[in-house]
Structure formats: C-alpha cells, structure tokens
Structure 1
C-alpha cells in the first residue's frame, strides 16, 4: 500500500491553503464507498494520521457531492464545474467529486497492530476471516446502510431411495446424534460457491465413508418415517411428505438452471419448478 498526497482545502481561519499530507490508497467500490487494503507494515501513529487525512477528504467529497445534488435539483449546478482541457467535467482541485459513504479497511492478520487505531477513529468490526479482519466506517450522519455480514449457512439433506422403496440412512459417530440410535438422512452444509445439488452428492459420499458415520444401511421408507424422532419434529414430517410426493411423481421440486449474470463472473444458478414453467 503506497501513499498519495493531497492538499487541505482551508485552514483554521477558513482561508484556502495548500498543504501536502499522506493519504491511504483506496479503490472505489460500486456502491459509493472506498476499500483500503493494507499491504505493507505501518506504524500506528503514521497510520492514524493517514487515516484521519483520508477520512477528511472523503467527507469533504461527500459534502461537496451533497451540495451539488441539492444544486442540481434547484437548477443551480451550472458554473460549479470547470471544464478541463480534455473536455471532461472536473471540480476545483481536479479531484474525484463523487461522495464517499462507506469506508472499508481490510487488515491482514500480520497488520493487527492497526486494529486499535482504526477503532479509535470510529471504525467497527464487520467480519473476520482466518487471515484478515474487515472494519468499516460510515461518513454521512444518521443510520448507516452497510450490509450486515453473512451470518447464515445453507444446510442440505440427501434423500436417496432405491428400487425397493428403501432410503439411505446413517447413524453419526459425532455431533448431537452420536449414541442416540437415530437413523437419519445424510446431511451437511453447502460450501461457499458450491452448487446445492453437488453439495448433496458430496455429503452422501462423505457420510457413507467409514470415518464419518457409525453405520449406514437401506431402510424401508415407512420404517424411517415412523421413528419417534421423525414424528416429533414438524420439519422432518414435512420432509417425509415432500420426499414421498416426489417419489410418486406428485411433486416436481426445484431444479438448478445455470444462468449468466452481469453482476458476477461466478457460476449462477436459479432454482425453480422447471416442469410447470415448461407446461409439462
């Protein structure tokens, strides 16, 4: 992370002055904010001064952009811009006039000495991964609109039935079901970026491996459904009804349809009832 320089707009008397100071390098995100990723060691005092200067500039941009927006709606923006020799609209200092709202700082674990200075400047924790901490800050007054950290996981269960109308069930040797005698469908959690159907196949393979379970077998569907554990929980009773309807052809369920999106280069899937959509 290198540092850039800029000039303060005014002094304590409100007079315009030019004074160089170091700014944190940042990239614009698509939502009117900036992202700072610290990649080189910094002393806490230097980081604090750079952070304060950067926030001051981003706040100035926000205030200027707000003023321009108000002027636009009142028909008074003409004349607030200059025209550069290249013909593009620019502001007085030639800088970015887009208002910055959210500020994100990504701190790798090796730069953890900068967490405390950032918090003291008003940043708060957003989320953490094994090798970095993400902090955030909101420039406008009022309640922020930054998205919350992802806090949910997608769980899956695999309904596998053979031609004898028997379902694949397992007894786990770890977790809450260890030693309970409960026979259950293979279940697990979808990994990040993993297709739901691929996750179901993976979990079946993992949970039927000798190291993952106490036992596995084929069990008549009715025997599985009559277990007190299944009958006790409404969710599992719904799953039994859905699986049985699926087997008998009375329920089509959702199918993954691969799609493209301009929002992301990652694989995208829509899950919907393709049979009804196609009029079958």
Structure 2
C-alpha cells in the first residue's frame, strides 16, 4: 500500500473541523445485580426476559404468612403462620428471591429455615428459588448445597445459588456467557498510530507493538463509547486523552478466558493529547508509530485477524468504509437510556438524529 494514499485521504478525514469530528430467558433473568448493601426495604429490580425492566416492590397486606397484594409481588414474612420461612420476594414468574439482608445469623437456624422454606414453597406451587449468600455468610453454602441448591455464579462479595422446584426441565437462565473487550485505534495528524508493548503477553506476541486494549467492566457501568470504556483504556495504559469517533468492527469468539465467549470491539479514536505516560504495572512501553511501520509488523501481516482489523481501519481512513457511530437513545421498553450504534451517511444525519 502506498503511504501517500493513506496520508492524503486520512488527513482529510482527521483534519476536518471540530464540529465534523464530534440481550431471552423464559422464566426469570438473574436478579443478582441489586446492590448487596442496599436496604432490604428498597425496591428490588428484577429483569424481564428481553431486557431490564425495573419493577418496584413494596410491602403490602400480609396473607397466610405472605404479604400479597394480588399482583404477583410481595415480601414473605417469617412472623405469622410459618415462623421459620425465610423472608423472600415473590417474583412475577412464580418463583422467589430470598432476601439476602434478612438471613438467620446462625448455621443451625439457617438450615432449619431453609428446609422449612423449601417445603412451604413447594406446597405453595412456587418454581425457582434464588439464594444470594454474601461473603460473610459463606458458612451457609454447604448447607444450601446439601438441600439441593446449585451454584449459579459468584462475584467478589457474594455467591448466587438456585433451586428448581417443579419436576420438569429447569427454566432458570444460565449465568452470563460473555466477556467484553475493547481496543482503541488512535491515529494523529502525522499518520502515527498509538501502540503499546504489554509487560505480560503470549510468547507469539512478545516484543510486538499492538493497539491499547482492555476489558469493559459491568460493575463500573462502562460503555464502549464513553469514559470509562475505550477512551478509559487508552488513557489508563498510555496517558493519552482521546475522543470516540466510530465503532469500526467487532470480533466474536467462543471458549476463551474461563470458557466464556468473547466480544472484542475496535474503536476509532481521535487523540486530544500527545504526551505518553504509561501504566508501568501493565505496559512495558508505548509510542507513536508511523502507520505504514505498524502495518508492516509480522504480528499484523502474519495474523489474519490483526491484518483484517488493520485493513479495515485503513479503509476507514481512506473513506472507503464507514463504521458505526454512537447515539444515545431512551426506550420505554427497558425504562432507561442506552447507546445504539449504527451507521449514518452524511446526508442522512439530520433526518436520523
């Protein structure tokens, strides 16, 4: 490829004016996202099969040991007919979510309450049971497993277990199956690409210069577009401030880290600063590398995926390829704002904005 072609067309793209550069489970989706330190009386957020659907659950009138408002929601109370039943939220799918903030304090009491609760829930025709055990209640885990609970997933501060009551195939959704990664293709007005050498890398890429990459962490409410996200990863690794321009491409692979599937997004970023200050815990070195030199690296030329990613980025610079831009949208379906990525031709931008 000729460097002049890259320089001429890319410069036209990046040298534009600032204004021009500016998830189905049928039964119950996992309720584990509720904060472990939220008050027990706070509304519990359950999830619909297609997307997050917040539903406010408030204590209502008590009927036969359950607070039942006739709408499928209510807090189970252990103070009336069945004093051993664990406090739990009755969900709209015919299941229950045990209140992690009101668990018994001792193992003996917990074992008795759990057995009594299962018996009660079975007689009441309930289906799935979600049991969230905080880290400081880890001694309850073997007791729950002995009763037939199974591991669903674990986080830093808790373990989620499930129990399926009906004598039929379990309809509880599986744990999350994907991890999300992001890479930043940052190129400046001198046609130099921001590249890094990782301190810890596979032998096949040892000493190679690559794009800054990292994981999107759900616990930090990260997005691909905004800080934190692709922009954050570049900033953390290299110290360079950037601006999101487009989502260029993404890769989908199965059975990667921890046997999870992997989604890896490549973003085109425009640098807002040039000074490099590396994260010495993860990065060996970072620098601005001429685009042609980056493209000619063995890592890029001999690896089909890296070569294709680089080719796509170059074609974008030549204006022969259009990526996906980020648009903030609000839907009544999930009752919240999100980011929708799609491609819009220049003459359609006003119509679709």
Same fold (TM over 0.5): yes
Partner of 1:11: none
Inter-partner Cα distance in structure 2 for 1:169 and 1:146: 44
Whether contact under 8 Å (1:23, 1:54) holds in the other structure is yes
2:303 is equivalent to residue 241 of structure 1:
no
Deviation at 1:274, TM superposition (A): 3.0
Deviates more, 1:27-36 or 1:102-111: 27-36
5+ residue gaps, structure 2:
1-39, 41-61, 66-80, 239-276
SS in 1 for 2:179: coil
SS in 1 for 2:112: helix
Partner of 1:261: 331
Partner of 2:96: 34
Inter-partner Cα distance in structure 1 for 2:347 and 2:175: 34
How is 1:211-226 mapped onto 2 (pairs within 5 angstroms)?
211=280, 212-226=282-296
Whether contact under 8 Å (1:225, 1:240) holds in the other structure is yes
5+ residue gaps, structure 1:
8-18, 63-99
Q: Which has the larger radius of gyration?
A: 1
Deviation at 1:267, TM superposition (A): 4.1
Whether contact under 8 Å (2:89, 2:98) holds in the other structure is yes
Inter-partner Cα distance in structure 2 for 1:21 and 1:43: 16
Deviation at 1:125, TM superposition (A): 0.8
Whether contact under 8 Å (2:152, 2:161) holds in the other structure is yes
User: Per-residue CA shift, 1:110-144, capped at 9, x if unaligned?
Assistant: 11121111111110111111211111011112221
SS in 2 for 1:54: helix
Inter-partner Cα distance in structure 2 for 1:178 and 1:5: 65
| Shift in CA distance, 122/230, structure 1 to aligned 2, threshold 3 Å | same
Deviation at 1:27, TM superposition (A): 0.8
Inter-partner Cα distance in structure 2 for 1:38 and 1:104: 10
Inter-partner Cα distance in structure 2 for 1:38 and 1:256: 38
SS in 1 for 2:173: coil
Inter-partner Cα distance in structure 2 for 1:6 and 1:130: 37
| Shift in CA distance, 155/20, structure 1 to aligned 2, threshold 3 Å | closer
Partner of 1:195: 223
| Shift in CA distance, 29/271, structure 1 to aligned 2, threshold 3 Å | farther
Whether contact under 8 Å (2:194, 2:211) holds in the other structure is yes
How is 1:53-68 mapped onto 2 (pairs within 5 angstroms)?
53-62=116-125
Partner of 2:153: 127
SS in 2 for 1:167: strand
Inter-partner Cα distance in structure 2 for 1:262 and 1:33: 25
Partner of 1:229: 299
SS in 1 for 2:287: strand
Inter-partner Cα distance in structure 2 for 1:178 and 1:127: 33
CA RMSD, aligned part only? 2.9
How is 1:136-215 mapped onto 2 (pairs within 5 angstroms)?
136-176=162-202, 180-192=206-218, 193-198=221-226, 199-208=229-238, 209-210=277-278, 211=280, 212-215=282-285
Deviation at 1:158, TM superposition (A): 0.5
Task: Tell me: higher relative CO, structure 1 or 2? Use CA pairs within 8 A at least 6 residues apart.
Answer: 2
Deviation at 1:239, TM superposition (A): 0.5
Inter-partner Cα distance in structure 2 for 1:115 and 1:5: 30
User: Per-residue CA shift, 1:74-102, capped at 9, x if unaligned?
Assistant: xxxxxxxxxxxxxxxxxxxxxxxxxx321
